[in-house]
Amino acid sequence: MTAQEPCIVCSTPTEHKCSSCQVVHYCSRDHQKQHWKQHKYECIPARIKQDAKYGRYLEATRSIKAGDVIMKEAPLITGPSQVTPPVCLGCYQLLEEGAIVTCQKCGWPFCSEACTKNAVHTPECYYTQQRGEKVSISTYGIPHPNYQCITVLRCLYQRDHNQKLWAKLQALESHNEDRKGTEKWENDRKLVAEFIWKFFKLDGVFNEDEIMQCCGIVQINGHEVPLLEPEYVAVFDKISMVEHNCRANCNKSFTSDGNIILSAGVSITPGSHISVCYTDPLWGTEARRHHLSDSKFFECSCERCSDVTEFGTMFSAVKCKKKGCKGYLLPDTFVLPILHKTKSPDPNTRGLDNKFWKCNACKDEVSDAIIQQLLQDIGRELSAMPKGDPDACERFISHCCNYLHPSHYYMTDISLALAQMIGQQDRLGLAGITDDRLLLKTQLSRKITDLLEILAPAETRLRGSLLFELHAAIAETGRRKSLTDGPMVMLGYVTESRKILQESAELLAHEPPELPEGRLGRQAKINLLQMDELIKNLSAALPSPL
């Protein structure tokens, strides 16, 4: 912890570092002051801390405003997804048979000559040459076994070629003890470790521990980067230390060149832990906790998981079926030890047997088994629903509101799909839908954005997209009203619509043009200019107040 590093200005070894980011070292106050002009652009408003409960985590060192970028980071390692059809090992684009360039040194296929020279390809190029026989890929478009180990191999390579990078990778969490014995572990042992030993002839070079450690590092810290289809994997350093929270205060997005951006979804006070959500915040508490336990090996007991009402939203609440009762059922707690399906069950942790859900009005109790059956049935109904059918969505909502709270995650799921669907299917867009549907779109979009603000305020991609839908629905409502009530009623609607659009543009500001949300963000900016023009014209046409 007290390692000496050279002062960035004069290179004198020193223990002192910038207290805000702890990244840059300074021998003296003077040199820190002198360097600030430049450092203020790279200094992040958070520092790395460590404790027994969280391991390493990030803590805000000063007030951070919603929307502020906390940090931007380039990946330590990138590579193809574990299961992938052949992709270019330089840029990760999907390869098509007949449009391929092979690396002259190793035979791996690429999209272009330039990509064969990309430095990220060095590890497998090196080991393929060592192996003494070129790679030859002949099937495209379906998952190919040769790619399963590439990202792990790229990590392993650093041990003998880049000490600093290797140390950073090794400092990341691998959860190897928890992973041992899981199906995924056995799979990795066979398809990654054995492949590295046999195909690359590296059995005397990397042992099982080293390989499995790297598998864990990639599994736990790897991000699937959605800029391309299929997605590729990137492992980041500092971002990996950001802890999970089901009501996180930050979110991650990617730049077009594959860097990651961490930005604040809400205002953050100094001393708060910086968090992101590692799972889908629109899943129910039980599903989120199981997913986190299966994939990240911890049992979440965050504020949201600990509150069965989920900040009063009743996101998991089921309707009481007692005659005449208008109450809702919830269990005492969701934070129970999780039974592992992947490992043999421990008979001592069967805590669910005598769980009951209680009504908040009549205090009636219903066994967990009955509720689970109901949820399973509704879940099955949901997955059997025809896709893209607004009528089916409406039928589901009116049927299931007899069983679920209107804000229940299943209701929210369908409401969200419906809100986005209305207007997308008609050739005329929103202008082609009925007044009823337009009203429904407006109501649903409003309801879900309000819910998101409470439940997952940092989920800015989704909220920004929905606000875009909402602004369009309100503007269309104004247009229709103006047909009967005259053009002046437009002004109120357009002004409201513009306010919502402004918020949408701000929420989507960090999204790259490769993603639909990024394109929506750009469209929002264009629409804003048009609306300003419209508001100006409408205002000018208003009769003078005299």
CB of 21 to Zn ion, least distance (A): 3
Which tokens hold the place of 214? 């790297």
| The one among 2, 4, 5, 21 contacting Zn ion by CB under 5 A | 21
Q: What angle do CA 388, 391, 392 make, to 5 degrees?
A: 70
In sequence order, what are the residues at sequence separation of 6 or more whose Cβ sits closer than 8 angstroms to the Cβ of residue 391?
none
Query: Looking at 211-219, 324-332, 397-405, 509-517, which segment touches Zn ion (CB under 5 A)?
Result: 324-332
| The one among 46, 70, 115, 508 contacting Zn ion by CB under 5 A | 115
Here's the x/- map for Zn ion, 363-382, by CB under 5 A: it reads as: -x------------------
Alpha-carbon distance of 500 to 528, in angstroms, equals: 10
Residue 341 sits in the site that holds Zn ion (CB under 5 A):
no
CB of 252 to Zn ion, least distance (A): 17
CB of 449 to Zn ion, least distance (A): 22
DSSP 87: B
Identity of the residue, 106 or 490, whose beta carbon is nearer to Zn ion in the bound complex: 106
Query: Looking at 98-106, 136-144, 469-477, 498-506, which segment touches Zn ion (CB under 5 A)?
Result: 98-106
Residue 35 sits in the site that holds Zn ion (CB under 5 A):
no
| The one among 76, 77, 125, 233 contacting Zn ion by CB under 5 A | 125
Here's the x/- map for Zn ion, 270-309, by CB under 5 A: it reads as: ------------------------------x-x--x----
3-class secondary-structure state, position 238:
helix
Query: Looking at 36-44, 131-139, 160-168, 518-526, which segment touches Zn ion (CB under 5 A)?
Result: 36-44
Residue 474 sits in the site that holds Zn ion (CB under 5 A):
no
Residue 397 sits in the site that holds Zn ion (CB under 5 A):
no
Q: Are 249 and 64 in contact (CB under 8 A)?
A: no
Residue 7 sits in the site that holds Zn ion (CB under 5 A):
yes
Cis ω on the peptide bond leading into residue 386 (within 30° of 0)? no
| The one among 18, 225, 378, 433 contacting Zn ion by CB under 5 A | 18
Identity of the residue, 316 or 504, whose beta carbon is nearer to Zn ion in the bound complex: 316
Alpha-carbon distance of 20 to 383, in angstroms, equals: 48
| Secondary structure (H, E, C), 438-480 | HHHHHHHHHHHHHHHHHHCCCCHHHHHHHHHHHHHHHHHHHHH
Identity of the residue, 275 or 442, whose beta carbon is nearer to Zn ion in the bound complex: 275
Identity of the residue, 293 or 445, whose beta carbon is nearer to Zn ion in the bound complex: 293
**Cβ neighbours of 315 (radius 10 Å):** 24
Residue 43 sits in the site that holds Zn ion (CB under 5 A):
yes
Which tokens hold the place of 123? 């590890």
| The one among 66, 69, 135, 325 contacting Zn ion by CB under 5 A | 325
Residue 335 sits in the site that holds Zn ion (CB under 5 A):
no
Query: Looking at 40-48, 49-57, 204-212, 448-456, which segment touches Zn ion (CB under 5 A)?
Result: 40-48
Identity of the residue, 105 or 161, whose beta carbon is nearer to Zn ion in the bound complex: 105
In sequence order, what are the residues at sequence separation of 6 or more whose Cβ sits closer than 8 angstroms to the Cβ of residue 386?
392
* Amino acid symbol at 144: H
- Return the residues of window 213-252 that contact Zn ion according to CB under 5 A: 246
Identity of the residue, 88 or 202, whose beta carbon is nearer to Zn ion in the bound complex: 88
| The one among 35, 189, 322, 446 contacting Zn ion by CB under 5 A | 322
Residue 359 sits in the site that holds Zn ion (CB under 5 A):
yes
DSSP string, 268-308: B-TTPBPEE-SS-TTS-HHHHHHHHHHHH------HHHH-T
**Residue count, binding to Zn ion (CB under 5 A):** 30
Identity of the residue, 214 or 300, whose beta carbon is nearer to Zn ion in the bound complex: 300
CB of 456 to Zn ion, least distance (A): 11
Entry field: residues in the chain: 546
Query: Looking at 80-88, 133-141, 197-205, 457-465, which segment touches Zn ion (CB under 5 A)?
Result: 80-88
Identity of the residue, 135 or 339, whose beta carbon is nearer to Zn ion in the bound complex: 135
Classify each residue of 99-114 as buried b or exposed e, where b means 16 or more C-beta atoms within 10 Å of its C-beta: ebbbbeebebbbbeee
Q: Are 212 and 189 in contact (CB under 8 A)?
A: yes
Alpha-carbon distance of 470 to 288, in angstroms, equals: 28
Residue 10 sits in the site that holds Zn ion (CB under 5 A):
yes
Identity of the residue, 7 or 448, whose beta carbon is nearer to Zn ion in the bound complex: 7
Q: Are 403 and 378 in contact (CB under 8 A)?
A: yes
| The one among 46, 60, 71, 103 contacting Zn ion by CB under 5 A | 103
Residue 320 sits in the site that holds Zn ion (CB under 5 A):
yes
Alpha-carbon distance of 128 to 136, in angstroms, equals: 11
Alpha-carbon distance of 160 to 169, in angstroms, equals: 13
Strand-strand pairing, 222-225 and 109-110? unpaired
Alpha-carbon distance of 182 to 186, in angstroms, equals: 7
CB of 390 to Zn ion, least distance (A): 33
DSSP 144: -
| The one among 46, 111, 215, 416 contacting Zn ion by CB under 5 A | 111
In sequence order, what are the residues at sequence separation of 6 or more whose Cβ sits closer than 8 angstroms to the Cβ of residue 198?
none
Q: Is 474 exposed, middle or buried (0-12, 13-18, 19+ CB in 10 A)?
A: buried
Identity of the residue, 77 or 302, whose beta carbon is nearer to Zn ion in the bound complex: 302
Place of tokens 């394109």: 519
> Which residues of the shown chain bind Zn ion in the complex (CB under 5 A)?
7, 9-10, 18, 20-21, 27, 31, 43, 88, 90-91, 103, 105-106, 111, 115, 125, 246, 300, 302, 305, 320, 322, 325, 327, 359, 361-362, 364
